[in-house]
Amino acid sequence: MFFYCKMCGGELEVNQEATVGQCQYCGTKQTIPKTDNDKIMNLFNRANHYRMKNDFDKAMNLYENIINENSKNAEAYWGLCLCRYGIEYVKDPLTEKMIPTCHRTQLESILEDEDFISACEDADSVARATYEQEAKHIDKIQKKILQISSKEEDYDVFICYKEADEMGERTQDSVIGQDIYDVLTAKGMRVFFARISLEEKVGTAYEPYIFAALQSATIMITIGTKPEYMEAVWVKNEWSRFLAMMKKDSKKTIIPVYKFMNPYEMPECFARIQAVNMEKIGSMQDLVYGIEKILKKDKEKGVEKAVHAEEKIDSVSKYVPLLERAWIFLEDSNWNKVHEYTERILDMNPKCGEAYLIKMLAKLKFNNRKALVTIQHPVKHAKNFLVKTE
């Protein structure tokens, strides 16, 4: 029974009792599946094949199939984890060792990932130590990416497209993308278009800048002139990540754009999303109008939220001195003044929990909250102070 190396793809002969082995081709120590089932081993090899081609979604489906067959398969959970973080192993030119690179940065640490935790729980001690060591290495890479991306400015729009065809020539998708980029930037929008946005990043890893743009952009425009262009590995990697972000952030919107192709040939996940046919007269104006409308609505919500926050801060700042005076009157047993000041506070904010606490302490003739620990029986009239507070 053979298992293909997760790093270089070399053929490994698997010892059915071992959970860790070393590749004779690249020399990498790695975990291996513990199974005598040819079907499961074939699923692992197919999943690793897709993962090494950076087709992480197809690989994830296969790892999930393995887990459906065996819910305690540690190596399948580890495979899911590698796909979620878009891990590809490349040879370090200095050390010639296979090292991980990250193509799907997440805000959450891999050390807190549920699949990583499941892999460690279901693995033996030897495999677990290997998972933990590799995860710590990936976590350091992630932190470095997040550190770089945090310094990037926010984008309004992310243009997702295929830059070059199989002959290395520029695609129609790229030309359409630049037309959209030119129009939107002329309108004052900040747009991520790889051909231009990454031109000064040559020689560096692109992931921090792509992640920052995906994370901050309100709108993604996906462009397709051929079905295979929209399904291309790196194009799919971008729009599938954005779709995942949309599930957590309702403000994000994706707009499919197509030309020279049947809209029904677009990826199935776009079936219920309104797409724009760029062959129609006025399509560019329609697209721009839609984008402006979405961004305006988003900015209005942001302004409204900021105004409410400022109003709340301003309101709190008005009654904080009254709270301080109420506590002083409580310490002095000046119950009448306590009642007067807490009522003034509650007129400003009927949900001020601290004011209700002071009122209750005064009712009990307590000078501070520490006295509450002396109560041995339910407080009479306490229900009068049980209100929904902030």
pLDDT of residue 56: 96
Mean pLDDT of 21-41: 89
Mean pLDDT of 143-155: 93
Give the range with max mean pLDDT: 214-218, 356-360, 371-375: 214-218
Asked whether residue 280 carries a pLDDT value surpassing 90, the answer given is yes
pLDDT of residue 308: 57
| β-pair partners for 193 | 159
- Contact at 8 Å (CB) between 219 and 158? yes
pLDDT of residue 376: 59
Instruction: Give the tens place of pLDDT for each residue, 253-266.
Output: 999 999 999 999 99
Mean pLDDT of 161-179: 97
pLDDT of residue 107: 92
* DSSP one-letter code for 375: -
pLDDT of residue 373: 63
Instruction: Give the tens place of pLDDT for each residue, 281-290.
Output: 999 999 999 9
Q: What percent of the chain has pLDDT over 90?
A: 63
Least confident of 23-27, 178-182, 361-365, 371-375: 371-375
From the list 248, 253, 239, the residue with the least C-alpha distance to 290 is 253
Which one has a higher pLDDT value, 240 or 17? 240
pLDDT of residue 341: 87
Which one has a higher pLDDT value, 42 or 364? 42
Q: Residue 215: which pLDDT band, with cuts at 50, 70 and 90?
A: very high
Q: Residue 70: which pLDDT band, with cuts at 50, 70 and 90?
A: very high
Structure pTM?
0.73
Instruction: Give the gyration radius of the chain's Cα atoms.
Output: 29
Which helix H or strand E contains 363, and what residues bound it?
Answer: helix 353-363
Asked whether residue 36 carries a pLDDT value surpassing 80, the answer given is yes
How many CB atoms within 10 Å of residue 235?
21
Q: Residue 371: which pLDDT band, with cuts at 50, 70 and 90?
A: confident
What is the side-by-side strand order in the sheet with 219-224?
A: 191-193, 157-160, 219-224, 253-258, 276-277
- Contact at 8 Å (CB) between 3 and 32? yes
Q: How far apart are CA 235 and CA 198, in angstroms?
A: 15
pLDDT of residue 377: 59
Instruction: Give the tens place of pLDDT for each residue, 117-144.
Output: 999 999 999 999 999 999 999 999 999 9
pLDDT of residue 160: 98
